[in-house]
Amino acid sequence: MSEKKRILLIDNEEGLCRMMEAVLQDNGYSVKSYTRSYQAVEDFKAGDWDLVITDIKMPGMDGLEVLQRIKEKQQIPVIMITAYATVEMSIQALRRGAYDMLTKPFEPEELLYRVRNALTQTELIEENRELKEELAGKFRFENIIGASAGLKDVLEKVGKISVRDTSVLITGESGTGKELIAQAIHFNSPRKGKRFVAINCGALPESILEGELFGYRKGAFTGAKENRQGLLEAADGGTLFLDEVGNLPMNVQKTLLRFLQEQEFMRLGDTKPTKVDVRVVSATNADLKQAVKSGFFREDLYYRLNVVNIHLPPLRERRTDIPLLAAHFIAVQNSKFGTRVKGLDHDALAAVTHYDWPGNIRQMKNVIEASMAMESGEYLTFPVLSQFIEVPDAGMTLAGEETGEGDYSAAMARFEAEYLKGLLNRCGWNVEGAARDAGMNMATMYRKIKKYSLRKE
């Protein structure tokens, strides 16, 4: 093991306690043993442990009380040892949160087997916690790239409605980041500990979509060979994101409306309703008001989904965000492939800033990735970039140059200052992490912080 797992061991039989301690230490574990439960619990509160092994029958504080006090402090596995195992005692211990029961007498191999299993659970719990924290951190508002007035208005609205359990309809062109905003709503809401489940309503045929959303019972239709949980049940306690909701067939719209009204639905082939607690966030690039007028979308469902509307402006309406997004995508590719591309040269930066990006952020991400695969220099150049987007000849001006706000160097300095400020904020002002993401050394990062007088806000 690269790092010894720490085990707290409690048994009032000193001989057995020392034997278990020796076996565990010989197999690479760090063990601290006690014959008095009170002292063990006090030391547990002050330490950092991976597993507790405790006898049940002990004078003073017995093993069940030890279990209760440990679970109040930390959710780690507890193995209970007893010489008098009964069904009632085992059930009581397991109900209180014991991971396993070990009956005396036992062989060292059995002890080691139970310990390994328990510690595997510890690792899985820790990995799951770290993944959840990493995922939630990814969708903090400060990690959404951009400084334009349009994006700031969106994030301000998202911040207000995330904590309110209302339905949200996100509108905007394809590629503007509607799912990213839906995830930000979820991970900044009280539901963040539960699942975020997404489905593209336009990607599945009608015959499959209904079963995917609501689930079905065995025998509900040809091919339904077993009960199937739908996405609404999978999202219980969390958020269901319906992308391209305008593509929902009429019969599915009717079932969804009933759910939004009653918080219950019927599986296909079922005879009783299923109740769940789910927040619905939906998105569309279509004009749902026109779809209502044309009879393709239910008006009552439209108003149920559109309690709060968030409109994402296209990238051509937030051009000041384009250099920041380009720098972000370059940094991501540098980190992923170990490349050292420093940015875009003058003509390439002018080109991406002036281009209308019909595919919005999604298109821009793909273009930067493709350009970096083809570029051999330190900067992405106009000739390489122009292979992937139709842009005018080089020689365009950067935003700010044509309005007399400064020359190319000044424009690049403004861009670099904004980029580094955003990067430092996203890294919580961890300068080492920001320098690594930017592909520069620490000394350079500190020099630029001083040059641009950057401060933590």
CATH of the domain at 161: 3.40.50.300
Report the C-alpha gap between 225 and 227 in whole angstroms.
7
Averaged pLDDT of the chain: 85
The pLDDT tens digits of the residues spanning 315-374 come to: 999 988 898 899 889 988 998 888 989 889 888 888 998 899 999 999 999 999 999 999
Evaluate whether residue 399 is within a structural domain: yes
Report the C-alpha gap between 114 and 11 in whole angstroms.
17
Number of domains in the chain: 3
Domain endpoint, select from 248, 283, 313: 313
Evaluate whether residue 415 is within a structural domain: yes
Are residue 286 and residue 157 in the same domain, yes or no?
A: yes
Omega before residue 105 within 30° of 0, cis: yes
Which is more confidently placed, 435 or 182?
Answer: 182
Task: Give the domain extent around 253.
Answer: 139-313
pLDDT at 205 over 50: yes
Are residue 443 and residue 328 in the same domain, yes or no?
A: yes
- Predicted confidence band of residue 139 (pLDDT cuts 50, 70, 90): low
Report the C-alpha gap between 169 and 415 in whole angstroms.
33
Token readout for 23 is: 């076996």
Can you give the pLDDT at residue 442? 79
Domain endpoint, select from 263, 281, 313: 313
The pLDDT tens digits of the residues spanning 8-31 come to: 999 988 899 999 999 999 999 999
The residue assigned the tokens 């510890």 is: 122
Can you give the pLDDT at residue 403? 40
Are residue 27 and residue 66 in the same domain, yes or no?
A: yes
User: Of the candidates 227, 225, 198, 226, which has an alpha carbon nearest to the alpha carbon of residue 213?
Assistant: 198
Evaluate whether residue 457 is within a structural domain: no
Are residue 77 and residue 166 in the same domain, yes or no?
A: no
pLDDT at 203 over 70: yes
Can you give the pLDDT at residue 393? 55
Can you give the pLDDT at residue 95? 79
Are residue 293 and residue 323 in the same domain, yes or no?
A: no
Are residue 191 and residue 336 in the same domain, yes or no?
A: no
Are residue 153 and residue 248 in the same domain, yes or no?
A: yes
Q: Which pTM does this prediction carry?
A: 0.64
CATH of the domain at 327: 1.10.8.60
Can you give the pLDDT at residue 282? 97
CATH of the domain at 127: 3.40.50.2300
Collapsed DSSP state (helix, strand, coil) of residue 335: helix
Are residue 155 and residue 293 in the same domain, yes or no?
A: yes
pLDDT at 395 over 70: no
Are residue 37 and residue 96 in the same domain, yes or no?
A: yes
Domain endpoint, select from 253, 283, 313: 313
User: Of the candidates 221, 167, 172, which has an alpha carbon nearest to the alpha carbon of residue 189?
Assistant: 167
Are residue 288 and residue 351 in the same domain, yes or no?
A: no
Can you give the pLDDT at residue 400? 45
> 419, 327 in Cβ contact below 8 A?
yes
Can you give the pLDDT at residue 405? 41
Evaluate whether residue 85 is within a structural domain: yes
pLDDT at 408 over 60: no
The pLDDT tens digits of the residues spanning 74-105 come to: 788 999 988 775 667 777 787 788 888 888 88
Can you give the pLDDT at residue 2? 46
Are residue 129 and residue 260 in the same domain, yes or no?
A: no
Collapsed DSSP state (helix, strand, coil) of residue 100: strand
